[in-house]
Amino acid sequence: MNLTIDHILAGISAGGQYALIAIGYTMVYGILRLINFAHGDVFMASGLIIVYLTTAMPLQYAIPVVIIATVFIGFLIERAAYKPLRSAPRMSVMISAIGVSYLIQNLALYITGGLPQTYPAIPWISDSVELFGAVTKRVTVVTPVLTLVLVVALVVLIRYTKIGMAMRAVSKDFETSQLMGIKINKVISTTFIIGSFLAAIGSLLYFSSYQSVTPTSGAMPGLKAFVAAVFGGIGSIPGAVVGAFVIGICENIIKSSTEFSIFSDAFTFALLIIVLCVRPTGIFGEKTTDKV
């Protein structure tokens, strides 16, 4: 064990990135009761798009374009793969999500030819900085700050705007809110748009610190983010963020040991199983926090 400040910093940074993905899971689950298995792949796709965009245009244009593209992908997946199954059993929708995930991964494999793509260095956030005696990229510092800002903005949006109120209503009771005149499809689309937007930001930060994108590089962060969402109490945004930071930090501490580093992924799932057995509603139980 050579636990240093490096690992803690990397853990906080990873936690922030997982948090941004986890929010997408938790919001979709809150409304549709669906584990959106394709969310991790949307995150990966966002990373790939920017690799190809930067060959065609300067970075300051590429970043907004990639965010819009990711949001569009998220929106499209919901419309094409989940909306037709709205009245189907939940298992069918989950299978559809797995199918979409499979499709995106194969599409990415086809486009990249299976080669890992080098992520472009984003000037300011890829610079090295020194912090508590450890040299790290600026992205490590930027991630938690940006995550917290976005989460606060999201919570404000959910609590004080009309669409936020609609989201809360839909997550409480799907049918009744429909009877009350809430346009369900609009609310669901908005949820997917917000989730994909945050996944795009998360992907910018995540791949800036890992530097290469492969077709399967979205699957594991995706599953971990989902575990984070369950850990924090699925449906609860603050819960997802706390869960993501716990997982990010623990995982990097495990990675610091050479003997057990292979268990860094397995740890996440062990944590999930313990949480599900001991406290299935997560650390922030459903009723105490606002659920979206």
Mutual angle of helices 59-77 and 39-53, in 10-degree steps: 150
Q: Are the beta carbons of 205 and 245 closer than 8 angstroms?
A: no
DSSP string, 230-286: HHT-TTBHHHHHHHHHHHHHHHHHHHT-TTTGGGHHHHHHHHHHHHHHH-TT-SS-T
Residues 138-197 that bind other proteins (CB under 8 A): none
Shortest distance in whole angstroms from residue 104 CB to other proteins: 9
Closest CA to 206 of 97, 7, 48: 48
Stretch that binds other proteins, among 11-19, 100-108, 123-131, 173-181 (CB under 8 A): 100-108
Residues 132 and 255: their CA atoms lie apart, in Å, by 20
- Does 116 bind other proteins (CB under 8 A)? Our answer is no
Nearer to other proteins, 60 or 87 (CB): 87
Stretch that binds other proteins, among 31-39, 127-135, 156-164, 239-247 (CB under 8 A): 31-39
94: left (phi over 0), alpha (psi -120 to 50) or beta: alpha
Stretch that binds other proteins, among 48-56, 137-145, 176-184, 262-270 (CB under 8 A): 262-270
What are the backbone angles phi and psi of residue 253, rounded to the nearest 5°? -65, -40
Nearer to other proteins, 197 or 267 (CB): 267
Residues 178 and 184: their CA atoms lie apart, in Å, by 6
Stretch that binds other proteins, among 47-55, 99-107, 139-147, 235-243 (CB under 8 A): 99-107
Residues 39-98 that bind other proteins (CB under 8 A): 80-81, 84-85, 88, 90-92, 94-96, 98
Nearer to other proteins, 105 or 143 (CB): 105
Q: Is 223 exposed, middle or buried (0-12, 13-18, 19+ CB in 10 A)?
A: buried
- Does 230 bind other proteins (CB under 8 A)? Our answer is yes
Contact positions vs other proteins (CB under 8 A): 33-35, 80-81, 84-85, 88, 90-92, 94-96, 98-103, 105-107, 109-110, 113-114, 216, 219, 223, 226-227, 230, 259-260, 262-263, 265-266, 268-270, 272-273, 276-277, 280
